[in-house]
Amino acid sequence: EPLIILKDIGRKYVIGTEIIHALKSVSLTINKGEFVALMGPSGSGKSTLMNILGCLDTPSKGEYILNGINVSNMTDNELAEVRNKEIGFVFQTFNLLPRNTALDNVALPLVYAGVNKENRRARASKSLENVGLGNRMDHKPNELSGGQRQRVAVARALINNPSIILADEPTGNLDTKTSIEIMGLIEDIHAKGNTIILVTHEEDIALHAHRIVRMRDGLVENDFANPNIQKVD
């Protein structure tokens, strides 16, 4: 069942008289429940593609169909609505609010979704328990380790039951042991049926994914199933 269909997506940036074709032509189909790693050298278009996939940006050409809806030509307000409903983001730098507790950070997307305070607390605490942080709910980010901060970010990404989790270098600021822990958590989330797209520079990290898409110069250079992982459908 296709969740994401990209048809001949292009994205160019015009800077003065210069035109940069960050994405030239990208066509990809990603099914519900896939775990995809997006790789490629710096400047190959990964961030540009993730921004489009996350409805933070729209393509200059081509079509993006997300969950059956053409989001290619939506207004910023329409995109924001799709984003809040469909996308969970996890970043390299965690992007937590420093003055807020873990619980309040996780509950934040529910504020935008108009959920009442009582339900927000109940759902956020459940989400924190699910990532193993039931005993850290009232801690602020600076009272947590890097791995715990990223767990908070994962709990926040999952809180709205999004269709897709987009993770941009989620282990980029973590040591090897903690990276492996976070990848274990992401694998668990995938095993529960979530669709995950992960940008990484590291081959070891990419090998947790079931499919590896490699970009170069704004194009998909190759796209293959991870031979180390048995397909389980």
**Upper half-sphere CA count for residue 130 (Cβ side, 13 Å):** 19
Q: Which is nearer to ligand ADP, 10 or 132 (CB)?
A: 10
Task: List interacting residues with ligand ADP (CB under 6 A).
Answer: 13, 15, 20, 22, 40, 42-48
Q: Measure Cα distances from 230 to 77, 162, 208, 212 in Å.
A: 41, 26, 12, 14
For residue 128, the 8-state DSSP code is: H
- For the CB of residue 36, give the shortest distance to ligand ADP in the complex, in Å: 15
- For the CB of residue 40, give the shortest distance to ligand ADP in the complex, in Å: 6
Max CA separation in the chain (angstroms):
55
Q: Measure Cα distances from 55 to 77, 127, 219 in Å.
A: 11, 24, 19
* DSSP H or E segment with residue 216: strand 211-216
Q: Which is nearer to ligand ADP, 22 or 102 (CB)?
A: 22
Q: Which is nearer to ligand ADP, 44 or 160 (CB)?
A: 44
- For the CB of residue 42, give the shortest distance to ligand ADP in the complex, in Å: 4
- For the CB of residue 214, give the shortest distance to ligand ADP in the complex, in Å: 11
Q: Which is nearer to ligand ADP, 45 or 54 (CB)?
A: 45
